[in-house]
Structure 1
Amino acid sequence: MNTILLFIFSMIYFNSQAQEGSMIRIETENFAHVLKIGLDHKLYQTYIGTKLNNNAEYEAVSKENIKKFVVNDGNPLIDLRHAAYPTFGTTNLFEPAIRVTHNDGNPSLELEYQKHSTKKIDDNCIETIIKLKDPQYPVFVELHFKAFYKQNVVESWTVIEHKEKEPITLYNYASSALHLDADKYWLTQFYSDVVEEVRIEESQLTKGIKIIDSKLGVRTNMFAAPNFFLSLNSKSTEETGEVLAGTIAWSGNFKFTFDLDNNNELRIISGINEFASEYSLEPQKVFKTPVFIYTFSNQGKGLASRNLHSWAMNYGLKDGNKSRLTLLNNWETTFFDFDEKKLTNMFSDAKTLGVDMFLLDDGWFGNKYPRSGSTSGLGDWQATKAILPNGIGYLMDQATATGVKFGIWIEPEMINEKTELYEKHPDWVLSLPNRAKDVYRTQLVLDLCNPQVQDFVFKVVDDIMQIKSGVSFFKWDCNRMMTSAYSNYLKKQQSHLFIEYTNGLYKVLDRIKAKYPNLEMMLCAGGGGRVDYGMLNYFTEFWASDNTDAFNRIFIQWGYSYFYPALATCNHVTSMGKQSIKFRTDVAMMGKLGFDIHVGGLKEDELKFCQDAVVNYKRLSPTIWKGDLYRLVSPYEDTRAVLMYVDKEKNHSVLFSYTLQPLTDPNYGLVKFKGLDVNKKYKVEEINSMPHGRKSFEESGNVCSGDFLMKIGLKVSSSQPESSVILEINAVE
């Protein structure tokens, strides 16, 4: 069945009984993932990579080894290397995607092909569902593949159910199993820590198993980001090489397993981390795994990123095609030391800057135990009368009168012991019996496995939204991971905790999204400790890091840019670091701009610069947010970073050049631009200069052809340490 013809013409849902040896193709415009039913009735992957023009040639792509996918001679070293969803307990010798124990104690599973179906979701998306079954037990597995044609992205997930008389136990339950065949494999992973998010590390895979995972329960990205690139045969660059990019839409414990066998064949098993999470599945109940998202590029990491950005803005990110609010946050100006007068004065600061919104951060709540510091109040979500006698509604009215929107910070999943909530519901926290409570950052974690706790967390948002006209924006924080975790609600099913907590969180967010579909929310977790497309389905943006030093932020924002579009990445101008206000602002403009700075403390020329920068940003933001990203010079390979965004029509572009800390005069050479139209002419102008300051770009105002800019290039970088240049590039007649 030609799925592309289906994509163009079909409006119906149909089932197909495939014959042994026939193929199932999951295809986009340039990418194909091909599966085949063997003579043994099992399902195998035969190809993944660049789409072929002639469908018949997928048969030949596996070379002389094609027989191993369709001939069963009983040799497990041959037959099961490319199993589409590898099982455990019979003949598979490698990493399984699924492992179960039946209620009669049998620890094995076999899966045979039953049928598959394909349906058109919209003009760009086709879903393929493949049904598998154990020939001896009533255990059923559905493999789901949703292909996004224009974006060249595929979503993959699995649905597991059974009709045995008693529960079966799931030990492994992957979302995806992919097989790759190459001479060498290079893995790019993104390690993290607090204030050191998404740093890049690349290494060649050797024989054996490499695992990237999290066991933290919440704030799961603290040490490892749930993203990877896998380059085939040699290291890929921005523009060259074959590369698979993968990420997972799951906000709990995740796991990527890279299993390189004795024949140099690689399996990538992706999904929920099964560690301490064996799952008892009741008869007739459904276990649905999270979505694994992947794309394939034969033109390097840059194209893979652009594929994922396009998918995210259209399918993965809440309101991905809508505009975002610029803002002023009070945290670094006031911390916990504020009152009504100080806040309302800051509304005027926001208006003076020209931003859209004022965001009230931590410290506004608690009465019996006021939130005067980090040790109390968290969980008592009522305005503190001593500092806000007229409540949140008064602040909303004053912000509106000033001409700015009003947003607010919450951390509804966490609790201090010094709260009225804890006094009433100590059983609502995750805490081991017969052991001392493990308090981290003076906090405990509320048990979102419990429906009563889910109701409470929803009510935190709902109550605030019922005040006056509601707030325009929430900053949703999450400042600790799980330790010594035990759920009073789950009782004897503690191994369900990590999964049910995450599902409970999604239930809350589903309710919020349903009732307040246009509400904008920022995702925060002790910095960037929880950034994934499971949560970004509900959030318009995320806080990248508590490290706002502009020098460090270049590396952090660069790392996020591989998997997340610019409009989702919140970057604030703060007082951290000793760089100029220009450098700090230019770095923040690389994504979604905000300020967290004492406006009254700015010098006259600094304030004027910031005001002009906001005006520039609002003009350029459609290109930054929705344009194609081209990373031109990496800070990991040079003493500068250069990148540019180009709109879809190739009429408007913005280039950012950041000089880091060269030890000597760098004498930077020409940088070749990307993504422009060779037949158009472009005016190149430097913007965001300090008032009365000298421009760094000597050729500002010149007109060049797209052909010249991309083949020859321009000198775009200042030689001064920690300096920056922003170029606006517009097509002219």
Structure 2
Amino acid sequence: MNLKVTYLILPLMLGALTQHKAAAQTVTIPVETSKNALVLQADGKHYLNTIYFGPKLNDSKEYSNVAAAYGSNHDPSGQMASAYTPGGSRNLLEPAISVIHADGNYSLDLQYVSHKTDHISDDITLTSILLKDPAYNFEVTLFYKAYLKDNVVEQWSNIRNNEKGIVTLQKFASANLYLKAPAFWLTQYHGDWAKEMRPEETRITHGIKTLDTKLGTRANLFEPSVFMVSLDKPATEDDGTVMYGGLEWSGNFRTDLELDPENNLRIISGINNYASPYQLKPNEDFVTPAFWYTLSKNGKGEASRNIQHWARNYKLLDGKGSRLTLLNNWESTFFDFDEAKLASLLKDTKKLGVDLFLLDDGWFGNKYPRNGDHTALGDWQETKTKLPNGIASLVKGAQDNGVKFGIWIEPEMVSPKSELYEKHPDWVIKQPKRDEYYFRNQLELDLSNPAVQDFVYGIVDNLFTKNPDLAYIKWDCNAVIYNAYSAHLKNQSQFYVDYVRGLYKVLERIRAKYPKVPMMLCSGGGGRVDYAALQYFTEFWPSDNTDPLERVFIQWEYSYFYPAIASSNHVTDWSKLPIKYRTDVAMMGKLGFDIVISKLGENDLRFVQNAVKTFDEIKPVVWQGDQYRLLNPREGSVASIAYVNEARTTAIMFNYLVNYRYDEGSIQPIRLKGLDPGKQYKVKEINLYPGSRSGIDESKTYTGDFLMKIGINPKVNSGRTSVILEADAQ
């Protein structure tokens, strides 16, 4: 959710609610997409429950019969299936919301009052349901935004205090789902720096499984907020029922998965309430971030395509647009550069044939020059000894070479050894009675403070004011929050929430003034990746681990939840694998380079120059096409993935060797997916290394039916470790 927009429209929406006053009868409320339905029902006592989540029925009137079809249960509380479970009254399980009323009472009871459904467009409906406590002047409005074509729902809540005193929110979830099935399997992710997105699948047993983070920033470092739940049996790529979900929030999150005594699954997700009781003043609203989810009856692949299409159309900034291919200086120079070195790299950028040169860390600080990662964060002035003529001369130098210029910043952070720290210690997040404790030798600035928000916004604004032709921002966030404390806030329990809200306020201001400037969301890798942050960024950095073999696995897992156009993949020198393998892997997303062009051999240079041209030809299919995972790298010696354009006239198929033991490779044909069975296709190998020959007979023509039922062998082996094929309809 865009919080700024939400705060503007919610009062209007709440005031305009169509009053469907509930009499002593049930009220059935279906939230439908093209294939699925979430059905809520208010019973005769005005309690709102989830009675169904599954394939859409042809006749919506039949939803009223669903509850009876499942028969009676043994729920003594009557609230196990609650659509938004309140704590402290009759509920016996994990609540979605718990409060302390102005009079100190901990109980909450929420009853249905009214609902309405607005048709935002041909593809979007917004259902809002008002719930109120009969004993206290306290209300919650549940929102369900359904995207019909993509079978995605966003759910959030607006919590309002109409009492005469302060109400403290103890827990404040965005969504509370209720799933029925004989059994459930959870796929979750874990990781660390350079080890992002490692999957684990387990059967869900009784009790509560909690996925959460308490890191404050870089929230996804150890555990991303995205997950899958398979119903009945573990889903495969093309078979089984599976739900994907994730929270649109760039700070502490919490998802509880509870198998209840009736063997049904309750999923409650939202901002982590850890150390975060939030006080609501009279007549004040608290809007939770959106929780998104999709349901597929045809396995993980369909669920991914739902999310990727939805993201490109509605969530990712400029998701239907283009992207710049860049050359980064980081692995060429690290902190050791000057104008002469950068001038040479600008020429290399032109020689490579890419669009943009990106200057990474190390360009700022004078009293404490940024010659390593211990100093200068916060002092965003060009280092005079390195750049005596400033950023402006580099922007001009890039233009003279026919390329664009971008720059790295980490504006939320401060080095203890910096002029900013000396001038504004009250802007720094640190406990006044504790020793400072550093993550990557740095601390965070307090974005709950409006003065700090102005400063961080000013970093970006000043760069563009002085350099209007600046073309790209890489926004990093390398530290987590230790010793959380805000000198600005009177109530420290609101810090974690207000920090993220402050970040969004800054990003909203930046995008209001600079709506089209490409920005990479970088956080030491995938530490801050979610669909709230991606409203403001054109792409994200999946991992600092750019070893191409590792990246096959990392990018594979990210692809379940994020489209290829959002994944920023660079060719680097992390690995000894051939330059072709490194480049082919990076082309499975948004291609970039972080290599020393001047040290490339003649054939390697010619290859990457041709690869840039090849990528320009195929990137519309990779970025906007439907993705089909063909061979899982965790299940064999070859990874294979394909992208097919909407017209099904072109497919780009990436194939990689992931097992280097003797005689491993693609032994059998690999079956494609998503083609038109009636069309005739020519298959050719592209992105060949200079002097090499294709292993594919390009004279043959195949029907889509043949390629999907029999397939084609890309002949991946130890001598052909990466192969890209293009299938074109004739």
* Structure 1 and Structure 2 fold alike (TM over 0.5): yes
In structure 2, which of residues 627, 637, 653 is the aligned counterpart of residue 629 of structure 1?
A: 627
Q: Which amino acid aligns with 2:522?
A: C
- Aligned match for 2:558, one of 560, 569, 572: 560
Query: What corresponds to 1:3 in structure 2?
Result: none
Alpha-carbon shift at residue 664 of structure 1 (Å): 3.2
CA distance in 2, matches of 1:292, 1:36: 21
Alignment-derived partner of residue 37 in structure 1: 42
CA RMSD of the aligned region, Å? Answer: 1.4
Give the deviation of 1:301 after TM superposition.
0.6
Q: How does 1:413-492 map to 2 (within 5 A)?
A: 413-491=412-490
Kindly state the Cα deviation for residue 694 of structure 1 after the two structures are TM-superposed: 2.7
Match of 2:662 among 658, 661, 664: 664
Decide whether the 8 Å contact of 1:14 with 1:117 is kept in 2. Answer: yes
Q: CA deviation at 1:23?
A: 0.8
Give the secondary structure class of the aligned counterpart of 2:251: coil
Q: Is the CA contact 1:629–1:645 (under 8 Å) kept in the aligned structure 2?
A: yes
- The percentage of counterpart residues that share the same residue type is 51
- Residue 21 of structure 1: aligned partner: 26
Return the match for 1:703 from 681, 695, 701.
Answer: 701
Q: In the TM superposition, what are the counterparts of 1:148-159 in structure 2 within 5 Å?
A: 148-159=147-158
Secondary structure of the equivalent of 1:406? strand
Matching residue of 1:511: 509
| Match of residue 574, structure 1, among 572, 575, 591 | 572
Q: CA deviation at 1:118?
A: 1.5
Question: Structure 1 residue 488: deviation in Å?
Answer: 0.5
Distance 2:212 2:720 in 1: 35
User: Shift of residue 509 of structure 1?
Assistant: 0.2
Counterparts of residues 69-218 of structure 1 (less than 5 Å): 77=76, 79-218=78-217
Q: Report SS of the residue matched to 2:454.
A: helix
Q: One-letter code of the match for 1:596?
A: D
Instruction: Give the structure 2 partner of residue 649 of structure 1.
Output: 647
Q: CA deviation at 1:63?
A: 4.5
> Which residue number in structure 2 is paired with residue 4 of structure 1?
none
> For 1:424-480, what per-residue CA distance to the aligned partner results, in whole angstroms no more than 9, with x for missing partners?
001110110111111221101100010000000000000001123241110000011
1:482-512 deviation line (CA, Å, top 9, x unaligned): 0111110113x11111100000000000000
| Counterpart for residue 529 of structure 1 | 527
**Cα separation, 2, equivalents of 1:717 and 1:43:** 57
SS in 2 for 1:188: strand
Mapped pair 1:49 → 2:54: yes
Quick one: distance in 1 between partners of 2:46 and 2:365?
63
- On the 8 A contact 1:18/1:115 being kept in 2, the answer is yes
Give CA-to-partner distance per residue, 1:327-381, whole Å, 9 cap, x none: 0000000001111111121111111111110000000011111111111111110
Query: Partners in 2 of 1:555 and 1:722 — Cα distance?
Result: 19
Q: Following TM superposition, by how much is the alpha carbon of 1:699 offset from its aligned partner in structure 2, in angstroms?
A: 2.7
Deviations 1:170-212 (A, max 9, x none): 0110000000111110101111210011111111111111111
Q: Can you list the C-alpha shifts for 1:393-432, whole angstroms capped at 9, x where unaligned? A: 1111111111111100000000111111111001110110
Within 5 A, what are the aligned runs for 1:361-400? 361-400=360-399
Match of 1:501 in 2: 499
Alpha-carbon offset, residue 66 of structure 1: 5.4
Residue aligning to 2:218? 219
Please tell me the residue identity of whatever aligns with 1:592: K
How far does the alpha carbon of each residue in 1:217-263 deviate from its partner, in whole angstroms, 9 at most, with x for none?
00000000110110001010010101111011100001111000222
Aligned residue pairs, count: 713
Q: Secondary structure at the match of 2:534?
A: coil
Q: Please tell me whether residue 542 in structure 1 is matched to residue 540 in structure 2.
A: yes
Q: Which whole-Å deviations, capped at 9, do the CAs of 1:506-555 have from their partners, x for residues lacking one? A: 00000001011111100011111111111101000001100000010111
Distance 1:682 1:510 in 2: 46
The TM-score with structure 2 as length reference comes to: 0.96
Q: 2:616 aligns with which of 599, 602, 618?
A: 618
One-letter identity of the residue aligned with 1:107: Y
Is the CA contact (8 Å cut-off) linking 1:18 and 1:116 kept in structure 2?
no
| CA distance in 2 between partners of 1:459 and 1:248 (Å) | 29
Report how far residue 663 of structure 1 moved.
Answer: 2.3
Deviation (angstroms), 1:13 = 8.5
Change (3 A) 1:266 1:602: same
Deviation at 1:387, TM superposition (A): 1.1
What's the offset of the Cα at 1:67? 5.9
Report the equivalent of 1:593: 591
Give, in angstroms, the shift of residue 698 of structure 1. Answer: 2.7
Contact 1:661 1:721 in 2 (8 A): no
CA contact (8 A) 1:640 1:657 kept: yes
CA contact (8 A) 2:77 2:91 kept: no
Measure, in 1, the Cα distance between the counterparts of 2:519 and 2:150. Answer: 26
Q: Report 1:668-679 matches (<5 A).
A: 668-679=667-678
Letter in 1 for 2:97: I
What is the TM-score of this pair, normalised by structure 1?
Answer: 0.96
Q: CA–CA distance in 1 between the matches of 2:202 and 2:17?
A: 44
1:523–1:542 contact (8 Å) kept in structure 2: yes
8 Å Cα contact 2:307-2:561 kept in structure 1: yes
- Which residue pairs with 1:334 in the alignment? 333
- Partner of 2:313 in structure 1? 314
- Shift of residue 709 of structure 1? 0.4
Name the amino acid aligned to 1:682. Y
3-state SS, counterpart of residue 77 of structure 1: coil
Give the whole-Å Cα distance in 2 for the aligned partners of 1:538 and 1:712. Answer: 43
Q: Aligned residue for 2:4? A: none
1:314 & 1:231 partners in 2: Cα distance? 26
- Output the CA distance in 2 between the equivalents of 1:675 and 1:13: 43
After superposing the two structures, state which structure 1 stretch, 318-327 or 56-65, moved more. Answer: 56-65
Deviates more, 1:18-27 or 1:520-529: 18-27
Task: Report how far residue 265 of structure 1 moved.
Answer: 1.0
Cα distance in 1 between the residues matched to 2:315 and 2:243: 18
Output one character per residue of 1:665-708: Cα deviation in whole Å (capped at 9) or x when no partner. Answer: 2352121100000111111100111101132x333343210010
